[in-house]
Structure 1
Amino acid sequence: MVKRVVKTTLFAAVGLNLAMSCFAQTKQIKLSINPAKTYQTIENFGASDAWACQFVGNWPDDKKNKIADLLFSNENNADGSPKGIGLSMWRFNIGAGSAEQGENSGIRDEWRRAESFLNIDGTYNWQKQAGQVWFLKAAKQRNVPQFLGFANSPPVQLTTNGKAYASQGNVNISPEHYTEFATYLAKVVKGLELTTKIKINYISPVNEPQWDWSDGGQEGCPYTNTQIADVVKALNKVFVADNIDSKIIIGEAGEIDYLYTKSNKPAKAYQINDFFNSASPNYLGNLAAVAHSISGHSYFTTSPMARSIKMRTALADSVARIKNLSFWQSEYCILGDNAGEINGSRRDLGIDAALYLASVISTDLTVANASAWQWWTAISAYNYKDGLIYIDKKKTDGNFYTSKMLWALGNYSRFVKPGAVRVDVTLPDDNLPRPLQVLAFKRGKDAVLVIVNSNTDDVNIALETQGAKIKFATSYTTSANDELRPGPVKGNTVKVKARSVMTVVGKAK
C-alpha cells in the first residue's frame, strides 16, 4: 500500500490489528502513537439533507431545533456530554423540480421528490426548498463551516424526457443544455448566498453516474465519463466567468471500485485516471474551479473485512499516483447483506449498527486515506439503516428518535475537525477475537484518539507517545448505554468498554 504523507499540522493515524484469537479476561494493550509520522489532512465529516429535511424543516420550532442541535452543535450539556455531533459539512440537495410535478413526476414516493428554485418560465423563486433552507441556516447558526450543493438530476426543464429520472439508462440531458445546467447551478450558489448569507463551498453536479436511474425511485441521472467531463467543463467556464470561487467536486461514484478499475462499465469507470491524468481526453485536473479531490461511495464494498481492505488499498494506491489528489468518501449508509455481517434493512437504533458504521469509517480513513467522510441522509423516515436520526413519516409534526449511529459518527465528527492530520498508531499482537481499530490525529496542540472495540470484553490501553508530551484528559464513550458519555483519563491509561467506540482527547504540552 502506498502511504500518502500530507505535511500539515496535527491529528493522527490508524492502527489496524487483524489478530483473531480469543481472550478470556480484560486485556492490557500498549498503544504507540507517533505524531511525527503523518498521513492525510481531514477536510470534513458530513451528512445530507435529502430527503426528509424538506418536511422536517417545517415542523414545530422546538423539535426541529433539537434535531439541528443533535446534528450540528459543538456545545455541551450541563453534565459535560456533547449536545450534538458537530458536523463540519452539510450537503444540500439542489432539487430538480419533481415535487412541483407531483404524481406526474413519475416518482412514486412523495418524500423522494424535490422542489427546484427554477420556475417553468425561467425565473427563480428563492422561497422554494424552504424546509431544506431552514436546516441550511440552522447549520450555519451552529457554526458548521462547510456546505456542499449536490444535484441528483438537472432541472426538469432541461432534461430530455421532462422528468427528474432517466429513460432506459440514458443520460437525461443533451449537450446543448450543458451550459444552461451550469448557469442554473451558478445561480443557485449566488441566490442562496444572497438570500441566506451562506456560501456554498462546493458543487457536485452528478451523483452515482454508473446507475441507470430509470425506475422512478428518486431523482437521478446517469452519465458516462465523457459526459461528466463536458458538464464539468461547462460549469467551470461559468464559474470562472461569474467569479464564483466555489469548487466543483467530481466522481460521486456509486461504488469505490469505479474510481480505480474499468469494472463492468468501462465508459463510467477508471475515474481517477480519466479525470486526473493529464494524458486523458477527459482530463479535468487543470480547471480552475475543480477541486483536486475524487469522490466515491462506500456502498457494497465494506464486507468482509479482507475484501474491504483489498479494495481500499487499491484505491489509495491509485489516488497516491496523482500528485496532491485526495479521496472523499462522500456518501454511505448500511445497505445490502454485507456478506452476512449486517443487513441494511430495518432500523437499528442500537449499538450493532453503530459498531459496524464506526468500523467502516475507521477503514475508510486508515486504509483508503479518505480526507472527508460523509453520511447519506441525516434524517430518515424509512425502515432501513440509512438515518442518523429517525422520524415519523409526517410532513408537519411527529416524533424523532436518535440512533447510536449518530453518536458513533460523533466520535469522529465532534472531535476530529477540518485541518486535523492523521498520525501513526501501532499496536502489538493483541490476541483479540475482533480487530481493535485505533485512529490518532493532531491539530495544533490538540490530540485525538478514536478507538473501536467490537469485542465482548473490555480492553485496557496504555498510551505511549514516542517522546511527544501529550496529556490525555477526557474520554467520550458510545456504547449500548452511552451517548458520547464523558469520563476522566487517569494518567495515560484508558479502559475501553466492550462493544463501544471511545474518543480520547488531550493536549500537547
Structure 2
Amino acid sequence: MIKKRTLLIPLVLLSILTACGTVEENTQKEKEPETDEVIDTAMITLNTAETYQTIESFGASGAWWSQDVGGWIEEETAELSKREYIAELLFDPLEGIGLTSYRYNLGAGSTLQNSPRIEDPWRRAENFEEGPEVYDWSKDENARWMLKTAGNYGIDDIYLFVNSPLTRLTKNGSAYGDQLEEKRSNLAPENYQAFANYVYDVTEHFLKEDIPVTHVSPINEPQWDWTGGQEGTYYDPAEVVALLEVFIEEKQKRPELKQIALSMPELGEWANTSKEYFEAIIESDTLMNYFDTWEVHSYWTTYVEKMNFKEWLDEQEIDVTLKMSEWTEMINGRDYTMDSALNLANEIHDDLTILDVVAWQYWIAVSSYDYRDGLIYVNLGSKEIIPTKRLWGMGNFSKFIRPGYTRVSAISDDKEVNVVSFLGKNEANEEELITVLINNSFQEKEIDLQGVGFGEIISYTTDSESDLEEQSITSQELTIPRQSIVTLKSVTTNE
C-alpha cells in the first residue's frame, strides 16, 4: 500500500545502486562511473542436495488499476486490445512474465459521497451489496474481467483481499477511519459476523462462476491508521485475533469453502510495529492451531531485520510457512530503468533466501502514478502502455521458477552478485535448474559455475538494452552484463 513514511533501505548491496532520471517513452541508461578494463570473476557454487522451500507462486495485485484498465477495449496491436495486451504481459508464460498468482481487491463500496477523503477514483472500489445479503453481481465489471482473464491463463493462486469492510458495516460509514480517533478500528465487534458473511458470500459466488479463488484475506496492514487516501482499517492485535476467529468459525460452516485458504495477518512489515501482532497471534491457541502459513509485507524492513525475524521464529520454535504478499519501492517519481528493477530483484532474493518465502507478490501490477510502483505504467489520457524494466526483472523469476520448484543452495563469492537457484520438473518432465544472477556492479562479471553438471544452458538477460533476451551458452564460464538480471535455465546431468 502507498504510505508516506521515511524509507528504510535494506542494507545489502544497495549502496552501489544509483537513482536515475526517467523519460516516459524510453528507458534511460544508468550513469556509469569510470572503471578499468579488468573483469572480475564471481564463482557461483550450487548444491542441489541442499534444499529449502518449494515455491507456490509469484504474483501481483489488481488493485486498483483493473477496475479501469479492465475496460480498455481499444486496439493495442492487430491481435489484442489494450486490456488483453496488459493481461498477456502479466500472465502469459510465453509472451509475458507468466505470473502464477493474482490478488483481487474486494472493495468496501467507497464513493466520493461516503468516503470523500478518497479523492482519487482509482483508489475507490465497488462492492457487490445492494443491501444485507442482496447482491448485484454485475458490479466491478472491469476488475472482474481481469480476474477472469487471469483465471483463464491458468493462474495457480487467486486471492480475494480486503482493505476495508463494507461501508454499511463501518462505524463512520466510510471506507477509512476517523482522523480524530487514531488507533481505533472502524469495525465494531458486533459487525464481525456480517463482514465474514459478505466476504464468504462473494467467494462462493465467484467459485460458482468458475473463478478459481484459492485464498481469502480479510485484513490488510492493520497497524496503520488509515484515515483517508484509500480504503483501509486499523485493528489492534486483540481485534485481529477476534476477527480471524469469526472468519475461521464461519468458514467451517460452509463446505463449499473447504479448499479455500484463509490468509493472515498481512502485516505491513516484518519488524517494528508488527511485533505485538505476532505476539498476539502466538498467544492464541485457535490461530496457532488453524494457521500454518503467515503472510506479511516487506515494506520498511531491512536485511538485518529480516534475519532477526527468522531467528525469532526459530527461538520461539514456531514452525510456519512464510509468504511475502505485498511490496513496492516507496519512492516518489516514475522509474522505468534497471535501477528500480535491481532493487526489486534484490528484495525478491532476500525474501527467498533469508525468510524462505514460498510466494512473492508485488503490489499494483499497473500504475498511473508518478511513483516507483507498478510493473507497467499507463498514461490515462492517451491510454499509453509502457512496460518497465521491473516487469522484465520480475519475469526473470516468475517466468522460470514455476510452482513446485524447490530452492537449492547457491552461494556467490562476490558481494556484488546475488544468486538464487531452484530445481524442478519442466513440462517435458525433465529436471531443470533455474539460476537467477543479479549483477549490481557497474562492470561486467565473469561467472564460474561450480558444483553441478549441466546440459545446454540458455540465458535470459534483462539489462538497460535487453528484456529477457535469450541466448544459448556452450560453457559453464560465462559473462553477464553490468547492472543486469540474468536467468540461467539448464537440464541437469549426472556429471
TM-score range, shorter chain: 0.7 to 0.9
Higher relative contact order (CA 8 A, sep 6+): 1
Report what 1:253 is aligned to.
267
Q: Does 1:117 align with 2:128?
A: yes
Q: Where do 4+ consecutive residues of structure 1 move more than 3 Å?
A: 16-20, 101-106, 268-273, 319-324
Report what 1:45 is aligned to.
58
Q: Does 1:447 align with 2:433?
A: yes
The 3-state SS of whatever aligns with 1:40 is strand
Report what 2:444 is aligned to.
458
| Equivalent residue in structure 2 for 1:274, among 280, 296, 321 | 280
Report what 2:23 is aligned to.
none
The 3-state SS of whatever aligns with 2:468 is strand
Q: Is the 8 A contact 2:420 2:437 kept in 1?
A: yes
Report what 1:507 is aligned to.
491
Report what 1:134 is aligned to.
145
Report what 2:195 is aligned to.
181
Q: Does 1:410 align with 2:395?
A: yes
**Whole-angstrom distance in 1 between the partners of 2:15 and 2:84:** 44
Letter in 1 for 2:416: P
**Whole-angstrom distance in 1 between the partners of 2:70 and 2:109:** 18
Report what 2:5 is aligned to.
none
**Whole-angstrom distance in 1 between the partners of 2:322 and 2:405:** 15
**Whole-angstrom distance in 1 between the partners of 2:473 and 2:97:** 21
TM value normalised by structure 1:
0.84
CA shift at 1:192, angstroms? 1.1
TM value normalised by structure 2:
0.86
**Whole-angstrom distance in 1 between the partners of 2:234 and 2:143:** 25
CA shift at 1:141, angstroms? 1.6
Report what 2:220 is aligned to.
207
**Whole-angstrom distance in 2 between the partners of 1:284 and 1:103:** 34
Q: Map 1:386-397 onto structure 2 (within 5 A).
A: 386-394=373-381
Q: Is the 8 A contact 1:472 1:504 kept in 2?
A: no
CA shift at 1:121, angstroms? 5.1
CA shift at 1:334, angstroms? 0.6
**Whole-angstrom distance in 1 between the partners of 2:45 and 2:138:** 54
Q: Does 1:66 align with 2:85?
A: yes
CA shift at 1:17, angstroms? 9.2
The 3-state SS of whatever aligns with 1:313 is helix
Q: Is the 8 A contact 1:90 1:147 kept in 2?
A: yes
CA shift at 1:106, angstroms? 3.5
Letter in 1 for 2:417: L
Q: Is the 8 A contact 2:133 2:198 kept in 1?
A: no
Q: Is the 8 A contact 1:272 1:319 kept in 2?
A: no
Report what 1:193 is aligned to.
207
Q: Map 1:24-423 onto structure 2 (within 5 A).
A: 24-60=37-73, 62-75=81-94, 83-99=95-111, 102=113, 105-120=116-131, 122-167=133-178, 168-169=181-182, 170-195=184-209, 197-214=210-227, 216-243=228-255, 244-245=257-258, 246-257=260-271, 263=272, 269-275=275-281, 277=282, 280-281=283-284, 283-287=286-290, 290=291, 292-301=292-301, 308-320=302-314, 321-335=316-330, 344-394=331-381, 398-423=383-408
**Whole-angstrom distance in 2 between the partners of 1:122 and 1:239:** 17
CA shift at 1:375, angstroms? 0.6
CA shift at 1:319, angstroms? 3.4
Q: Is the 8 A contact 2:352 2:358 kept in 1?
A: yes
**Identity over aligned pairs, percent:** 32
Report what 1:494 is aligned to.
478
CA shift at 1:472, angstroms? 4.4
Unaligned runs of 5+ in 1: 1-15, 76-82, 258-262, 302-307, 336-343
Report what 2:25 is aligned to.
none
**Whole-angstrom distance in 2 between the partners of 1:38 and 1:323:** 20
Q: CA RMSD in A?
A: 2.1
